[in-house]
Chains A and B, each alone.
Chain A
Amino acid sequence: MSRYRGGIGQWSWILHRVTGVGVLVFLCLHILDTALVVLGPDHYNAVIQLYRHPVFRVMEIGLFASVLFHALNGLRITILDVWVGLMRFHKPLFQLEMILFAVAMVPVTWIMLRPLLR
């Protein structure tokens, strides 16, 4: 099956789904690892220690990026649904969304990676 070459709307929708599912999976894992505390503090600490690992730090940036994209894109769609007249500008609105995304990602990436660089 070939790929339909939809525009920005199609790709942002796919990203919206992927990030949504990604965040949901993380949330379930996080509920599980937090629940380990019922087995005693040792198990809990061992798992939480994992999150300090550099690989997890980098994955955490991915998590933040997913939540941020999902939130901004959700806002864009909500705005379009409420002010239907703005739909003519859905492409520039998506570009604005991407600029906001980048502006937020730069300092956050720096803050999250700094402990690793020490």
Chain B
Amino acid sequence: MEIRIKIQRFDPERDEAPHWRQYQVGAQPMDRVLDVLHTVRWQHDGGLAFRRSCGHGICGSDAMEINGRNRLACKELVKSLRQPITVAPMRGFRVVKDLMVDMTAFFEKYRAVRPYLMTDDAPPEKERLQSPEQRERYDDTTKCILCGACTTACPSFWANGKFLGPAAIVQAHRFLMDSRDQGAEQRAGVLNDASGVWRCRTIFNCTDACPRGIQVTKAIGDVKKLLVARSASPDGPPARAQRAGGPPSA
């Protein structure tokens, strides 16, 4: 079958502003947008720049705006898309070239929430135990592949690039809700900041955009509630509020 695809092109060394270019290429019925991008690059226009690695929705390299919504190019079947298919880089990031964006600030924010297990007590003899219920609390947010689709679908982020953004908050959620983690205190600073979770306006664009089906807006809501509970408790933040459910019986 023939596919019409419109790609937003921008080469900072040559172009003043981004512009659209349309291509007509042959495709198989089961092709995904990523396959079509390959066809364009390999057969029509070798200068087209985009990122991809795994090609199977795992690495998170190829999030882009497809027909007006953030999607992974490797997960979108062309036959289910209206033509001409429009493909543009994610919003809110500087475009390096064509569909390739600069994600430096995105990963800085990721690091700012300290996305790793933090504990203050001495390591136990064996593993740190956890009940299935406790594991369940953060199961959803373990699925994040850091593609950036949620953050760049967020109007609050478009309006203010300083906003931490859904992706970083999802990563914070992953550890804040973990019964073994004790880093809530250290993470609260960036999250409770003016550029933190409170910039979220409960718009749900992030949830719609997530290629892993994470309930992103709900995760942000959980973090907001945790921060409120911390500041509401009279004798300082409950260091282990997230440990509800009691320790699992060994």
Contact = CB atoms under 8 A, between A and B. Distances in A.
Q: How large is the interface on B (under 10, 10 to 19, 20 to 34, 35 or more residues)?
A: 20 to 34
Contacts of B222: 84
B23 interface: no
B28 to A, nearest CB: 26
Interface stretch (A7-15, A21-29, A31-39, A54-62): A7-15
B224 interface: yes
Nearest to A85: B218
Contacts, number: 62
B161 interface: no
A80 B204 CA distance: 11
B221 A84 contact: yes
A77 interface: yes
Interface string B214-249: 010110011011000000000000000000000000
A interface, size bucket: 10 to 19
Contact of A7 (B88, B91, B204, B224): B204
Interface in B139-171: 153, 155
A80 B225 contact: no
A5 B155 contact: no
Contact of B153 (A4, A13, A84, A85): A4
A10 B202 contact: no
A81 B224 contact: yes
B201 A4 contact: no
A50 B155 CA distance: 39
Interface centre among A4, A13, A77, A80 (most CB of B within 10 A): A4
A9 to B, nearest CB: 3
B86 A6 contact: no
Contact of A80 (B91, B153, B202): B202
B224 A3 contact: no
Given A80-B221, A81-B221, A4 B203 contact: no
B189 interface: no
A9 B68 contact: no
A4 B221 contact: no
A10 B209 CA distance: 12
Contact of A2 (B68, B153, B201): B68
A56 B215 CA distance: 45
27 contacts: A2-B68, A4-B205, A5-B67, A5-B68, A6-B69, A6-B205, A7-B204, A7-B208, A8-B204, A9-B202, A9-B203, A9-B204, A9-B205, A9-B217, A10-B155, A10-B205, A13-B203, A77-B201, A77-B202, A80-B202, A81-B225, A85-B218, A87-B204, A87-B217, A87-B221, A88-B218, A90-B204
Q: Which 4 A-B pairs have the closest CB atoms?
A: A9-B204, A5-B68, A84-B221, A87-B218
Interface of B: 65, 67-69, 86, 88, 91, 153, 155, 201-205, 207-208, 215, 217-218, 221-222, 224-225
